[in-house]
Amino acid sequence: MLSEKMLEALNKQINNEFYSAYLYLAMSAYSAFIGLKGFANWFMVQYQEEMVHTMKIYDYVNDQGGKVRLMGIAQPPTEFGSPLNIFEKTLKHEKFITKCINDLVNLTIKERDHATNIFLQWFITEQIEEEANDNEVISKLKLAGKESNGLFMIDKELAARVFTPPVASKDGGTGKQ
Ligand code: OFO
């Protein structure tokens, strides 16, 4: 059973995760447009992962007998600047999401909602990984500097990223484990 406050906060986070997916889809489109196919692939995988995050919370709210309330998704930007800028913007957004998750966990403590607290542990770990991935690419891009060979190599590396669907479960693999 979710409190009104908890339900509202989780519905807001569903919207944040939808926006993350939308943002990364926009970054994928932008990367393809400027000729960075590996970047486009990386962000397409990121988009798919964000949809998994969205559905994890969606399923959780349903399972707890709460009412999912879908809200409008804000329009993401269409221009993201240099390859380094794209990843700096990604890291900035992920830091925002980390703060949202931390705020949600703080609310579970206030509301004494142990179930939601346990549910959110997965997201805490996930955010550590997301920020680490972004920092890694940012470091490589800084090392490569203006060297086109370096950028070519990074693009090739990002092209290898593959989306791994969540383990199939009764939800048909929408993200709930
Ligand atoms: Fe990128 O972790 Fe969800 O939003």
Per-residue pLDDT of the chain (177 residues; tens, 9 = 90+): 999 999 999 999 999 999 999 999 999 999 999 999 999 999 999 999 999 999 999 999 999 999 999 999 999 999 999 999 999 999 999 999 999 999 999 999 999 999 999 999 999 999 999 999 999 999 999 999 888 899 999 999 999 999 999 886 555 444 444
Angle (CA) 121 5 73, round 5°: 80
Domains of the chain: 4-159 (1.20.1260.10)
Closest CA to 175 of 137, 123, 105, 115: 123
Amino acid 147: pLDDT: 87
Can you give the pLDDT at residue 81? 98
Q: What is the distance between the alpha carbons of residues 174 and 177, in angstroms, rounded to a whole number?
A: 9
Closest CA relative to residue 2, chosen from 66, 51, 95, 62:
66
For 33, 132, 137, 147, 153, the CA distances from 51, given in Å and listed in that order, are 23, 20, 22, 34, 28
Closest ligand 1 atom, residue 94 Cα: 1
Looking from the CA of residue 126, the nearest atom of ligand 1 is 2
125 alpha carbon – ligand 1 mean position (Å)? 11
What is the Å distance from ligand 1's center to 55 Cα?
Answer: 12
Q: Which atom of ligand 1 is nearest to the CA of 127?
A: 2
* pTM of the predicted protein model: 0.93
Q: How far is the CA of 140 from the centre of ligand 1 (A)?
A: 22
Measure the CA–CA gap between 51 and 60, rounded to whole angstroms: 14
Q: Residues lining ligand 1, judged by CB closer than 6 Å?
A: 17, 20, 50, 53, 94, 97, 130
CA-angle at 108, arms to 104 and 109, nearest 5°:
120
Displacement of CA 36 from its chain's centroid (Å): 21
Query: What pLDDT was estimated at residue 168?
Result: 62
Task: Give the pLDDT of residue 16.
Answer: 98
Q: How far is the CA of 48 from the centre of ligand 1 (A)?
A: 10
